[in-house]
Chains A and B, each alone.
Chain A
Amino acid sequence: MKTRLSLLAGVVTAFACFTPVAAFTGSSNTGAQSVPLWLCIPFAGLLLSIAVLPLVKPDWWDKNKAKAVIFWSLLFVIPFAVTNGVGQAATVTLNCILDDYLSFIILLFGLFCVSGNITLEGDLVGAPRVNIALLVLGTLLSSCIGTTGASMLMVRPIIKINSWRKRKCQTMIFFIFLISNIGGCLTPIGDPPLLMGFMRGVPFFWSLRLFPILIFNMVLLLFIYYWIERRAYQKDIAEGRKPDISRPGTRVKICGSHNIIFLVMIVGAVILSGTLPGLSAFQDASGAVRGLHFIGVSLGYPSLIEIAIILLAAWLSFSTTPTEIRTKNHFTWSAIEEVATLFIGIFITMQPALMLLKASGSQLGLTEPSQMFWAAGALSSFLDNTPTYLVFLTTAGALGFTGGMVTSVGTVPTQMLTAISCGSVFMGANTYIGNAPNFMVKSISDENGIRMPSFFRYMLWSLTCLIPVFLLDMLLFFM
């Protein structure tokens, strides 16, 4: 009982530190008045449910998480309809589902399907050095095929080669830190916020400037990982666990490798969704992106093209890959189902927090790169990092700087743009809900016999391993 109470105390503290409710308490401004602060309660409630209920009522949560999501979503939608009108509520909800959630979940679904059809066979052994090599590979791959793509591609091979081990959750945690988040900072393909930056005039290869920061973070985190992993590895050996290496030589075979083509197809679709809106063929006379309209909400043709390509890639992947590969990969729908269920609730209930952020972002008084780094990062830990990035980019653009990167939202000093990019991309790793692949990796690991930490225990890992590294980032790069 004491543990549960301390967990509750922990969550209250965490939310007080990170959620917009606390972030905006001191700023009573006109923008924020249109969305009352208490409308953020359903978001906090949903996060609390995700964090606490799997610990205290695991069976109930397993069967009823969809009901919890509906409950918290309605708890936002109904009061919002009462205060702002039914039409406004419908527009906000539909906009969030069509414009944000749909492309998010379709991308995740496509990558989940395609990567589930690729399996690694062989007798490479999961030990500290091999795991580090794979984490480095995955981190660099994240910028080429996106954090979600790299996570989905690498998660099963890493689980498989470590299947002889007992203590392996640290590998999956650092997987989330590096492959699912930090690795995506080098290109707009890596993480959606950078794609938004690219669409606002930041050059495609500008983010390659973040390479030294990436290397610095990667080296530090891998150093920490090595010592944790080495201890765990030693304990496993001391308990008498050993891999099967009776056969001389290492055999490694990738089955279903033709799915790499479909993976490239999906990455291409993501790039298209970022470039097509800038073409005049996809813009109407007013410069808005052409698309389908429902109740005042539009779904742009570029998004529709992206969705169509991703679904086609997933279908082709399924129809050209033998079922045995999926069976060997323990491919099930549970992980994507769980993420789809929880994230629709998160997307809907976080709307008031995002509205507050949009309305008050420019009045927060953030003028230094270090402030931007922490503000963008802290909010990206819980909110969608794409709108968070945009809010801070717009805020920085409106500060009236004359030197730096010229974007469509104004001129932003290079150091400040670096800080916003790093904060948004890196700090998605702070919580399971900070970035979509985090939860996917957790779910897939849970399904395959790896005891992943609870929501708060994971935050403890990020507080002890990530935050000190981010503090060093601030001192070295953003001061």
Chain B
Amino acid sequence: MEATREKVMELATRIYELDGEVYRCLGSSLGRVYTGSRTDCIEGLARLMCSGRTAYLLRSELALVGNMARTIPDKDDCARVMDTYNALLREVQSLPESFGTVDIQDKERIRLNQVNLRERFSENDHLVICIGRSQGCAGTDIGFALADALKINFYDTEIFNSVLKRLQAEQDQVPDSTGSDVFSFQPSGKKHSSLRQWLQTVDRYHGLPKEDAVFFNQSDLICQMAKKEDFIVMGRCADMILANNRIPHISVFITAPFELRVQRMMETHGLDHRHAARLLKKLDRRRGRYYRFYTGLEWGSPINYDLCLNSASYGIEKSVELIARMINRQLPPPEQK
């Protein structure tokens, strides 16, 4: 089975490289067939090859590469590339309908879901913990305490602010949908008052909605940071951003019963019960929408995280200990902290 997987990966790599070669020979700037990251594209191709049901997609993608290859102006290059293309096509056609056995195992997930989560990181990888949380469950406090205990950096609104600086945008223009500040999500009410301002906005965000431009920049920043340092990041769909970029990480979701969260909100923000409950529902809805939009997944659904935690069952300190135990890190005794 492993040999077949290797063969498929090798074939996928060659298809990806052929597409690159075709694009190089053309000198076009209109985009190639496989435009994502190399690893993503190769993985995607391998998945298509392994699934008999989607074999037609692979054939039509290969046909697109062929369409481009046929238009290479240099005849020698064209003939060379078409030879490679035809050879690849033959190999793809000779593949069996499906390599999969009728099993329920998701190998990717099994590989990730080791009991000791720390083992998923190689020596060269940095420890990155992504914490998603519902408002009022003390998730931010747990994240901060964990970062303190593990002696690693903690990022929440810092990432957002850094992105705004990069985009040369003002904070009140873009709401921070996943930040810890409960009142930051409320729009400032400012609208583009003139055509000039509207054009400035288009220019600043490359024609994208502000939130999307911020998200794309946050994605870049989180991936860059994950290659340089150990850290804990709160929200921002960091778990899926890192998963999409094949960067090892641990994803945790923390929540607590609604009524307890309301009580905590009332105490920490000095709100009455009605307002606190309404605010919590609003924030949960907003975070759910944000997560669903940028990841296509259900926010807070256990199947999307390595670990889901009811903070009310443990309290802040014990929650920190529990997460640390899961990643096989011995915390220093309380007096040394």
Residues of A within 8 A of B (CB): 58, 62, 119, 121, 123-125, 127, 129-130, 133, 156, 159-160, 162-166, 234-235, 237-243, 245-246, 248-250, 324, 327-330, 332, 334, 446-451
Complex Cα gap A327–B74 (Å)? 12
Is the CB–CB distance between B295 and A248 below 8 Å? no
Contact B219 A332, beta carbon cutoff 8 Å? no
Of the candidates A129, A239, A448, the one whose C-beta lies within 8 Å of that of B68 is: A448
Q: Are A245 and B216 in contact (CB under 8 A)?
A: yes
Q: Is A124 a contact partner of B295 (Cβ separation < 8 A)?
A: no
Q: Given the known inter-chain contacts A58-B63, A121-B29, A240-B244, please indicate yes or no for A245 contacting B36, CB distance below 8 A.
A: no
Contact of A248 among B64, B71, B168 (CB under 8 A): B168
Complex Cα distance, B31 from A448, in Å, reads 7
Q: How far is the CB of A479 from chain B (nearest CB, A)?
A: 40
In the complex, chain B residues whose CB is within 8 Å of the CB of A334: 70-71
CB interface residues, B 236-260, toward A, < 8 Å: 240-241, 243-245
Q: Are B30 and A329 in contact (CB under 8 A)?
A: yes
Identity of the chain A residue whose Cβ is nearest the Cβ of B216 in the assembled complex: A242
Indicate whether B331 reaches chain A with its CB closer than 8 angstroms.
no
Q: Would you call B67 and A129 a contact (CB within 8 A)? A: no
Q: Which of B202-223 contact A (CB under 8 A)?
A: 202-209, 212-213, 215-217, 219-220
Q: Chain A contact residues: over half helix, strand or loop, or mixed?
A: loop
| Contact (Cβ within 8 A) B68 A449 | yes
B60 on the interface (CB 8 Å rule)? yes
Contact residue among B68, B166, B167 (Cβ-Cβ distance under 8 Å from A447): B68
Q: Which residue of the partner chain, among A234, A240, A249, contacts B204 with CB atoms under 8 Å?
A: A249
CB <8 Å contact, A447 and B207: no
A240 touches B208 (CB 8 A): no
Cβ of B73 under 8 Å from chain A: yes
Assess the A329–B217 pair: CB atoms within 8 A. no
Q: Is the CB of A332 within 8 A of B71?
A: yes
Complex partner residue of B208 from A127, A327, A450, CB under 8 angstroms: A127
Beyond the given A166-B36, A450-B64, please list 10 additional residue pairs across the A-B interface where CB-CB is below 8 A. Answer: A123-B206, A124-B207, A156-B30, A164-B35, A237-B293, A238-B240, A240-B244, A245-B217, A329-B28, A329-B30
The answer for the CA separation of A238 and B209 in the assembled complex, in Å, is 16
Q: Assuming A241-B36, A245-B216, A248-B168, is B295 touching A119 (CB within 8 A)?
A: no
The 8 nearest A-B residue pairs measured at CB: A163-B31, A240-B244, A238-B296, A330-B28, A130-B207, A332-B71, A449-B33, A327-B27
Chain B: how many interface residues by the 8 Å CB criterion?
Answer: 49
Name the B residues within 8 Å of A324 (CB-CB): 27
- Interface flag for B26 (CB, 8 Å): yes
B206 touches A124 (CB 8 A): yes
A163 touches B241 (CB 8 A): no
**Does B40 interact with chain A (Cβ within 8 Å)?**
yes
CA distance A349 to B217 in the complex (A): 55
* Residues of chain B whose beta carbon lies under 8 Å from any beta carbon of chain A: 26-33, 35-37, 40, 60-61, 63-64, 67-68, 70-71, 73, 166-168, 202-209, 212-213, 215-217, 219-220, 240-241, 243-245, 293-297
Residues of B within 8 Å of A242, CB to CB, are 216, 219-220
Contacts of B220 in A (CB 8 A): 242, 246
Task: Tell me whether B61 and A239 are in contact (CB under 8 A).
Answer: no
Q: How far, in angstroms, from A156 to B205 measured CA to CA in the complex?
A: 22
Cross-chain contact A234 with B207 (CB below 8 angstroms): no
Q: Write out the residue numbers on chain B whose beta carbons fall within 8 Å of the beta carbon of A156.
A: 30
Residues B71 and A447 in contact, CB atoms below 8 Å apart: yes
Contact A243 B206 (CB under 8 A): yes
CB atoms of B241 and A248 under 8 A apart: no
Which chain A positions have C-beta within 8 A of B61?
Answer: 451
Residues of B within 8 Å of A243, CB to CB, are: 206, 208, 216
Rounded to whole Å, the gap between the CB of A126 and the closest CB of chain B is 8
Which of A119, A133, A248, A328 touches B166 (beta carbons < 8 Å)? A248
A234 CB contacts on chain B under 8 angstroms = 293-294, 296
- CB-based contact A328/B29 at 8 Å: yes
Q: Is the CB of B67 within 8 A of A446?
A: yes
CB within 8 A of A449: which of B32, B36, B209, B217?
B32
Bound form: Cα–Cα A391–B213 in Å: 53
Cβ contact within 8 Å between B207 and A240? no
* Chain A min CB distance to B12 (Å): 16
Whether A159 touches B30, Cβ cut-off 8 Å, given contacts A245-B217, A246-B220, is yes
Query: Which residues of the partner chain A approach B295 to less than 8 Å between Cβ atoms?
Result: 238
A239-B294 contact in complex given A127-B209, A246-B220, C-beta closer than 8 Å? no
